Chains A and B, each alone.
Chain A
Amino acid sequence: MKRMTGAELTIRLLERQGITCIAGIPGGTNLPLYDALSRSTRIRHVLARHEQGAGFIAQGMARSSGCPAVFFATSGPGATNTLTSLADAKMDSIPIICITGQVSCPMIGTDAFQEVDIYGMSVPVTKHNYLARTVEELLHIIPEAFSIASSDRPGPVLIDIPKDVQMGMLEIAELPLAGMPEAPVAPDPALIRKAADLINAAQCPMLLLGGGANHPGTAAIALSLVEGCGIPAAMSLRGLGIIPLEHALSLGMLGMHGARSTNMLLEECDLLIVVGARFDDRATGRIDCFCPNAKVIHIDTDASEVGKLRAVEAGIIADARLTLEALLPFLGMKRRKPWLDRVACLKATHGMAVKDSDNPCSPYGIIRCVASLMDSSAIIATDVGQHQMRVAQVFPFTRPRQWLTSGGLGTMGFGLPAAIGAALQHPEATVLCFSGDGSLLMNIQELATAAEQQANVKIILSNNGGLGLVQQQQELFFGGRIFASEYTGVVDFPSIARGFGIPAINLNLSRTPEKDLEKALHSRGPCLVEVNIRAEDKVFPMVPPGAANIEMIEGECHV
């Protein structure tokens, strides 16, 4: 029999789950957990500077590895600060586990110091959540949390542990088994045959790959489908990287800021095979005008997504990889020459044409110049805004899980801590963090974490002195009334970075910007590279909110 406290048990169970790094911040009610963590030889702690940062560091680890990551926060404000990162993980189906301290059980409900009902608050933003009421409960809660976070459609789990539960003693003979993802669900063979018939009969089929297919195994089989059957593939924001951007049959991102050619081809296709995507409004535009001529095959592990927004001819509720594997043997190599000619033609006439791509001080040029200096081992994180859409449009992604971005929730402040998390998970890799001045300010305190950890994060800051995407909408749809979206105060970001101990350069002030950029990207450790761009430069093409994808503004050769 072993005797241990609830806190020691929690740390032991996390070790058994293979956790090696936990981001977080200690406080009054999680000190027993931290005391137990200090004695762990397997788990390293990374001190974040804000609990939202800790949550996004965990997301960076989880998004880049596909495995659950853990972060800690104390009760009260520490706990409420985790909510944005949990909501973000819920929207993008990311397996993270948040462990919060809570006031001792007898004090719950008394408005004790730093008491909030984080269990109640986190219900809508988690896949599941727990309030551990006894030490014994931890024995099943911790493994179950890992299983839930990583099974089927992944998602965040919160475990609230009162201080007296952390300090309570328990005697156990042996630890429970580690929690594992449930076995993936295999597709119904009858539906596979139906889907195969639809694909074989289609003249103009298209694939739409989303975050649910953004895994190495699934991506490999999706590529065989694309190449073997001659089916072009568009990707949602979260699906970028599944098929390399520069592949002849890759159409890149669809939707609000997708290439004209991609949205036009979707308009023309007669069959849409959706894998792990959920018909988000930014992707589909006005849903009743989306792919008007197409029958739909929807493959998703989450039954509630199939038929939610679009009626389907075949809905396959199963694992994406298993489904594609089952489909392949039934599909003939069909030469759809007219369709593939049409794809090549539209890509040539209405694809993304990148303006100023060799000028590192231009909005798109900085992205292409950075990309040309990186190999495929680089990981790319972004914040949210114009820079994010530009990276999504033109960065030559080559592999799944290479691209970390806040899709569903669109959280400014995501980029820097997520990049730190990815760098902690992959210490050998270079992690790029494309950001804007608005977004970077929202979690800028994590520069201290990046410096302390010497995380190999390269912040590429496109500074336009305002909220560019907001200004774009105000200019296009609110009569040009730019309001509350310009920063009149000028922030000296390179000085701020240096103040945190991070080297920084401004490319506009450099006489040899290409050379300085290369030097910054190829030196080890964190750095900040700033370029000044104009707020008037918009992201095109653009589908106005609420319009059909085919009604795009600009963008023929505008990019």
Chain B
Amino acid sequence: MSDATATKTLVTLRLTVNNHPGVMSHVCGLFARRAYNLEGILVTPINGGSTCNVWLMINEDGRMNQVVSQVSKLHDILDVRVEETDENVFERLSACLEFAPVVAV
């Protein structure tokens, strides 16, 4: 994300969702159906695994408000917020991964 213009157009959404098989297909399906690409996805369980945090990196291209209000309607989505902080979770994650040793499976 060294290109300044590219950083400007990317936005991170943070969702809190119920954790069960199928939630991610609801979320990802909604974006796919509206021809909206997900540039990055990160999911971590919270509250002992009953819910998850989902970070989605998306392009802000004028359709974002519509897709955010559609995501908010999903029954398993408990909270949606547009991350305002400068500390982008995806940037930090890529930084970690770059230095992580490659382990053969």
Interface residues of A (CB under 8 A from B): 119-120, 123-124, 127-129, 131, 148, 302-304, 307-308
Contacts and interface: CB of A to CB of B under 8 A. Distances in A.
A119 B26 CA distance: 10
B29 A124 contact: yes
Contacts of A128: 74-75
B66 interface: yes
B73 A302 contact: yes
A123 B69 contact: no
B22 A131 contact: yes
Contacts of A120: 22, 25
B72 interface: yes
B69 A303 contact: yes
Interface residues of B, number: 15
B44 to A, nearest CB: 23
Interface string B70-85: 1011110000000000
B22 A304 contact: no
Contacts of A148: 75
Query: In this complex, which of A124, A129, A304 has the most chain B Cβ atoms within 10 angstroms of its Cβ?
Result: A304
B33 interface: yes
A123 B75 contact: no
A308 B75 contact: no
Contacts of B69: 303-304
Given A123-B29, A124-B29, A304 B66 contact: yes
A302 B72 CA distance: 11
Contacts of A303: 69, 72-73
Given A124-B29, A124-B33, A308 B22 contact: no
A127 B70 CA distance: 11
Interface in B6-35: 21-22, 25-26, 29-30, 33
A303 B67 CA distance: 12
A123 B72 CA distance: 15
A485 B79 CA distance: 49
A303 B69 CA distance: 7
B25 A123 contact: yes
Nearest to A148: B75
B26 A123 contact: yes
Contacts of B66: 304, 308
Given A303-B69, A304-B66, A304-B70, A119 B75 contact: no
A266 B39 CA distance: 42
Interface in B61-105: 65-66, 69-70, 72-75
Nearest to A119: B22
Nearest to B29: A123
B40 to A, nearest CB: 22
A307 B33 CA distance: 20
B2 to A, nearest CB: 35
26 contacts: A119-B22, A120-B22, A120-B25, A123-B22, A123-B25, A123-B26, A123-B29, A124-B29, A124-B30, A124-B33, A127-B75, A128-B74, A128-B75, A129-B22, A131-B21, A131-B22, A148-B75, A302-B73, A303-B69, A303-B73, A304-B66, A304-B69, A304-B72, A304-B73, A307-B65, A308-B66
Nearest to A130: B22
- 7 closest cross-chain pairs (CB), A and B: A304-B69, A128-B75, A123-B29, A304-B70, A303-B69, A124-B33, A123-B26
A23 B69 CA distance: 34
A308 B64 CA distance: 11
A120 B22 CA distance: 7
Nearest to B71: A304
A231 to B, nearest CB: 29
Nearest to A309: B66
Contacts of B72: 303-304
A59 B2 CA distance: 54
A165 B61 CA distance: 45
